[in-house]
Amino acid sequence: MAIIVVGGNGRGAGKTSLICGLIRAMPEHRWTAVKITSHAHGHSEPVCEEKIAGQGTDTGRYLEAGAHCALLVTAHEGTMASIVQEILVKHAANTHLIFESNSVLRYMRPNLCLAVASDLKGARKPSFEMVERCMDATVALSGHDHIIEGAPIHFHLASLERISPPMCAWLREQLGDRLP
């Protein structure tokens, strides 16, 4: 089982688009995509499974991209650790996991952490500092696909929803035997 965390420096950075691109790039694997948010989305339960694919919600976009399961987590800080562990136990046996969250890094260590960096005009999320400390690569929207080698490696993509072949090869290499 592979666990990937996609974090971003602010709202609208492209985290959901990148997750959809990752799912599409590796369709032979079963993915559970999990969006963790502090915004109440009208659900009474802290974990809600999306059932309808489409562009209406981020979790619907995950399903449309090919995710086996899409979850929305709107839990409070005090219950987040137990909810994350419950998701790991319940879904890790038969799917790979992709989390859209900065704060999930407080409760688990992924196999890969990707930081979506954008030139946002709004406020930078304070929780992005955790992502910066854990990131294996940065991903940014650019005019064309290219890589800037270094530590961490920087992937520039013409579209966050279309993973370049070099980035896909890097992902497969990094995850190795976790992607059977």
Residue 36: which CATH number?
3.40.50
Residue 86 belongs to domain spanning: 3-121+137-173
170 vs 178, higher pLDDT: 170
Total domains in the chain come to 1
Query: Quick check: is 126 in a domain?
Result: no
Query: Quick check: is 179 in a domain?
Result: no
Q: Quickly state the pLDDT bin for 39 (edges 50, 70, 90).
A: low
pTM: 0.93
What is residue 139's predicted lDDT score, i.e. its pLDDT? 96
Spatial separation of the C-alpha atoms in residues 94 and 117, rounded to whole Å: 31
Query: Quick check: is 61 in a domain?
Result: yes
Query: Quick check: is 64 in a domain?
Result: yes
What is residue 176's predicted lDDT score, i.e. its pLDDT? 86
Q: Is the pLDDT of residue 114 over 90?
A: yes
Query: Quick check: is 132 in a domain?
Result: no
Which parts of the chain are beta strand (E)?
3-8, 31-36, 47-50, 69-73, 96-100, 112-116, 137-141, 146-148, 153-157
Which range (27-41, 93-107, 159-173) has the least confidence? 27-41
Query: Quick check: is 131 in a domain?
Result: no
